[in-house]
Amino acid sequence: MPSVKIPPVLRKHTGDQTAVDVAGSNVGEVLNALVAEYPDTEEQLFSGEGELNRFVNVYLNDEDVRVLDGLETAVAESDTVMILPAMAGGRA
């Protein structure tokens, strides 16, 4: 199954797991499967209309799905889907 890498900000919603294996043949299916298993991740990932939030970057392996086919991007069994929200920590 494809593996989804979970960023620190979402780990409290995935039982502190840093990666979760979920089924799906494209990025949308994989993320929906993640949300089905861990419903609290939905708010970070999707807008009310079911679109991927603009402030969340999703990568298939090392490529941004925005430059691929977005949520329709095909995912293979061995692929890694990475969720990457912006972080701002540094100075304090």
User: Least distance to another protein from the beta carbon of 90, Å?
Assistant: 4
d(CA 18, CA 74): 23
Of residues 16-45, those binding another protein (CB under 8 A): 18, 43-44
Smallest separation, CB 9 to another protein (Å): 6
Q: Is 7 in the site for another protein (CB under 8 A)?
A: yes
Which helix (DSSP H) or strand (DSSP E) does residue 33 occupy? helix 27-37
Measured distance CA(18)–CA(9) in Å, rounded: 10
Contact 44, 75 (CB under 8 A): no
Smallest gap, in angstroms, from Cβ of residue 47 to another protein? Answer: 11
Q: Which residues bind another protein (CB under 8 A)?
A: 7-9, 18, 43-44, 53-57, 59, 62-64, 67, 82, 84-92
